[in-house]
Chain A
């Protein structure tokens, strides 16, 4: 089993190094590797025994520094939390390779090599059981995406790539410090009987150690904030989300599918894997704030999505809203909400990944992403309309589809946290949050259906002017925004065009003469409905959406043991916190060596 897991990691890495030759070789090679990894992932999922023991684990000493006790190990394994995200990554990888099949023309081998490297990074992040290995993969995913966005992106690609990389790096370096502080705390607080003096980096051992010897609350809060910085940027929580729309809109289709489908989950995964189990008191005390921020993300993301004129930006902001739901679930930290949160992460990956693929297909055909340019596509493209309808309905949590299977337990869990017996010390806030979180559901339905209606329903636009040079063509005069030459300052953009059509004033309104709605060419047949490639790119997503929608039990049962262990400390912290909310509460009574109060 562990050999299989290692092949999933190293096969794409080998592909990244060896894929070469011309465009055809490269893309078929990439597809073969992606399918192989998917196959292995399916086998691993099928064989997954459930329970809390790590599955298919490998444990190699990486830094056996005999002199000093630093013990960094290359240890990878699957467990409940990372199982489905691992499978989702493998699936979305196939979709990503298929989506960019025709679109990517120049430098294709490099493109596919970067995709393979990205796959290794993404898979690695979810299976890493060692803090340093996790951080290595956590950063490693940045490099391929930086190049993908930068070279094959849209018009502002350079600025988007730089901003994406630096914003995420700035956050993640603080996480790096937080992780180190955790490791050092455990090293310098050895259990009395364990005299090994070995500075362990393995997540399981650290969680266990912190479980029975928790840090003192103030230290926990500081470290929680450090971890929060990195993970909040990655899973775009409200104030730190501004890189997301830019990176998504400018990324190539495959890039935005993977960015939305998988990479946004790394931040939430980080919260679930590190922040909650290792720093329970901090999670308990900061719970209201965290929930408020997530809720803000939900409602703010939905509101801003409502005002967007570009489909991809709309879906990007919808991702902010959906991820707000996931973090809402994770931070509410009870059995239902965490299960709902993790399942919602998978659903969001499927639905939003699919939607970005659809936008990519629309862009390939019409070279524009403005909603105003589309209309009445359903008649000429029924298949596209059907797939988009299923994806849209899943993302607005229609029962029977995956969105509902994730969102309902999540909202029940959040409601239960506020209204049920075990109300945390800030009951009133939690109750308000529970009720307001439903507003996100209504707003979500509104902007998605409004987008769907404006693009697919309504009168079909037929006209003669076939706008050849789409405003989306690359290389059209955006050198001024090119960040890479320092002389180029961001010109102070005057707010051009009414806000309704172009909410981001820094992108000057496309030239009104050419930018009119897209008119189908007089003749028939130049633009066809979904090709077989595109259909088999979207079908797995739709099948998974229906499967999760109709049978969520299958997925939740495998996750539950691991998730229980993750949230057990937090629930305990909530109980102890609720009875003595004052700062100088008695330290955790049952921990063997009571913590001397900080001098």
Chain B
């Protein structure tokens, strides 16, 4: 029963059905229990995606067993059930003799799903994290009037995310790209009474929309260049368009779309504001799943990026800048969720850097980091959520302190998360960070490696910064003397079982997952069978000698240890050392710059929002006073002409007679000439 096709369809359909059921029955029937359909549906999807992974693993084993064919063929299965739109030969054949893909110009969009290792991995990650977050939010959202609405939106979100990941043509990818944006808009603005939440939702949607404009332009260019929007068709014919400027333009535009969605450097301003939403939302959407959609898209389009090397440089560069930017800002933030948000931006930057290397090693490292990051970032967010839950909604780390003894489970899981994210040896974070460092080091050796040398160094600097901005909240919130904010009331105690269980599971995941994948080499091996990665395989990356691997690993660990020690020294002691460091930093104005989040929001306001609003008002005024009054004046011209002619009618018979005679004379003059 569980062949790949039914699984592939089952995974997205289950959450959709659950979401629709909750929406329909939520208010009257389910009320208190409206989480049941969605959580069960997501759980079943998770099981299905695990089965899918196993099915694909079997196929890969068969393929590997066949002699000689190695990884060339790749494993994929496309399910196309339903044609959305079909306009045959909508575009004339290319004039300037460019190569023509089969089925050129058929604007045939089908709702087609694709199952290959990359999709399977993403599906597994998305459904697993969603399940855990759903369970967590049973406790977190209890008693909220919009309880059913929350779960309906979460169900809708999981449906869109799973469809996005398994879409098989660019248009479908874009459709669910926007639907995911809609779900984030709805979930950020979940508590719509709070104007800040509503504004944050709108801001998120608009910034995404700006990114989507780039994405759409990319799709249009793909359509005009390749004549088809299907992944298969495009990736096969990329070969013939190697040097074409269009492919580079496409990749840059897709990058712009990815930046919009994954909150990269120019368009990252919406993610910190998105923290207005409930914390499970932040954990699910703004840490693990939605923001990684950009990374997934770039991974999916590797053939395109392979054909446009300077686009890969751009990806790496954007990634590097964002990583550094996120890390520097996160250090000085005071709101725990904002810190985690900026750390997410920073880690996404690392993934972009990894993908930017353009080598199979780099891409698998990026995806590996995506998986591990999903686990420990979700863990950290849920931990922050349980702290907020316990402390009555206060999340400002300066007002919390010494909660170690009151929230033991949260503390230990949060600690596990921190250790993992920082990259202490056995934990997952270490392996993925190490893989990225290795791929950077390897790539810097190859052609054009200068940029990657710098990126390798900045990543190492990043490793140190991670220790600071992760352990700072840990020490301030959980260590030191106990500071309990008044909002917490007297009952500051550990969160209920339904919230702590997912924390424990995630903690276990972020500890074990890295090691498991590293030792069994399963992850890289599994991923390398994605058909679209074949172009990388051919580019012949030599095996990495173990000496380099150990050297990179040791450098990474040493730096991490130094960082943790410095953080402990600074933050466990009294505040004097921190104040002195802050003043030292402020000499170059770095501290105020970092605390002010590099003033991107005010800059964007001044550069984009305010000018547009004033142009709008000008246009409104122009429309009323200029065009409208011009039209009214044209309407009044006949009346003015009438006013000019009225005096002629003065009632005197002889004047009329004179006019008649004059008329006759004029007529005579004309006729006799």
Contacts and interface: CB of A to CB of B under 8 A. Distances in A.
Given A553-B85, A556-B85, A446 B206 contact: yes
Nearest to B176: A399
B606 interface: no
B218 to A, nearest CB: 11
Nearest to A399: B175
Contacts of A216: none
Contacts of A307: 613, 616-617, 619-620
B198 interface: yes
Contact of A438 (B92, B189, B201, B217): B217
Contacts of B619: 300, 303-304, 307
Residue of B205, B220, B615 most packed against chain A (CB within 10 A) = B220
Interface residues of A, number: 68
A494 interface: no
A449 B185 CA distance: 10
B519 interface: no
A499 B617 contact: yes
Contacts of A450: 202
B93 A421 contact: yes
A412 interface: yes
B348 to A, nearest CB: 23
Residue of A306, A443, A456, A550 most packed against chain B (CB within 10 A) = A306
B223 A499 contact: no
B206 A438 contact: no
Contacts of B623: 242, 245, 300, 304, 503
Interface string B207-226: 00110010011001101100
A449 B198 CA distance: 10
A10 interface: no
A94 to B, nearest CB: 25
B104 to A, nearest CB: 11
A379 B193 contact: yes
Interface string B293-326: 0000000000000000000000000000000000
Contacts of B615: 303
Interface of B is mostly: helix
A460 interface: yes
A422 B95 contact: yes
Contacts of A163: 635
Nearest to A506: B624
A394 B445 CA distance: 51
B192 A416 contact: no
A505 interface: yes
Contact of A504 (B84, B179, B624): B624
B87 A442 contact: no
Given A398-B178, A457-B198, A411 B220 contact: yes
B490 interface: no
A503 B302 CA distance: 50
B87 A458 contact: no
Interface stretch (A115-123, A334-342, A346-354): A334-342
A245 B107 CA distance: 37
B174 interface: yes
A422 B89 CA distance: 14
Interface in A467-525: 490, 499-500, 503-506
A553 B111 CA distance: 12
Residue of B83, B179, B193, B632 most packed against chain A (CB within 10 A) = B193
Contacts of B645: none
Interface string A229-242: 00000000001001
Interface stretch (A96-104, A400-408, A528-536, A590-598): A400-408
B192 A553 contact: no
A379 B213 CA distance: 33
B179 A400 contact: yes
B171 A408 contact: yes
B3 interface: no
Interface string B600-618: 0000000000001101110
Residue of B174, B175, B176 most packed against chain A (CB within 10 A) = B175
Contacts of A499: 617, 620-621
A556 B334 CA distance: 55
B87 A459 contact: no
Contacts of A327: none
A48 interface: no
A210 to B, nearest CB: 24
Interface in A418-439: 419-422, 434-435, 438-439
A454 to B, nearest CB: 9
Interface string A556-590: 11001000000000000000000000000000000
B217 A435 contact: yes
A449 B182 contact: no
Contacts, number: 163
A393 B183 CA distance: 12
Contacts of A456: 192
B175 A552 contact: no
A334 B224 CA distance: 13
A306 B613 contact: yes
B617 A458 contact: no
Interface string B19-38: 00000000000000000000
A308 B613 CA distance: 11
B205 A552 contact: no
Interface string A110-150: 00000000000000000000000000000000000000000
Interface string B171-204: 1001110110010010001001101011101100
B85 A409 contact: yes
B627 A242 contact: yes
Contact of A503 (B89, B199, B617): B617
A412 B192 contact: no
Interface in B73-95: 83-87, 89-95
A441 interface: yes
A471 B5 CA distance: 61
A505 B623 CA distance: 11
A218 interface: no
A411 B209 contact: no
A438 B613 contact: no
Given A306-B612, A450-B202, A411 B195 contact: no
A459 B94 CA distance: 56
B87 A421 contact: no
A443 B213 CA distance: 11
A553 B83 contact: yes
A237 to B, nearest CB: 12
A499 B195 CA distance: 24
B182 to A, nearest CB: 6
A538 B523 CA distance: 51
Given A421-B94, A442-B210, A167 B631 contact: yes
A39 interface: no
Contacts of A560: 87
B671 interface: no
A419 B226 CA distance: 12
Interface string B278-294: 00000000000000000
Nearest to B192: A457
Interface string A301-344: 00110111000000000000000000000000011100100000
B495 to A, nearest CB: 28
Contacts of A490: 632
Given A239-B627, A449-B205, A503-B621, 16 more contacts: A306-B616, A307-B620, A308-B620, A379-B193, A408-B171, A411-B220, A412-B90, A416-B223, A421-B95, A438-B216, A442-B206, A442-B213, A449-B185, A449-B202, A458-B198, A503-B624
14 contacts: A242-B631, A243-B631, A306-B616, A307-B613, A335-B90, A379-B193, A399-B174, A411-B220, A415-B223, A422-B92, A450-B202, A458-B193, A460-B193, A560-B87
Interface of B: 83-87, 89-96, 107, 171, 174-176, 178-179, 182, 185, 189, 192-193, 195, 197-199, 201-202, 205-206, 209-210, 213, 216-217, 220-221, 223-224, 612-613, 615-617, 619-621, 623-625, 627-628, 631-632, 635
Nearest 3 CB-CB pairings of A with B: A421-B95, A399-B175, A457-B198
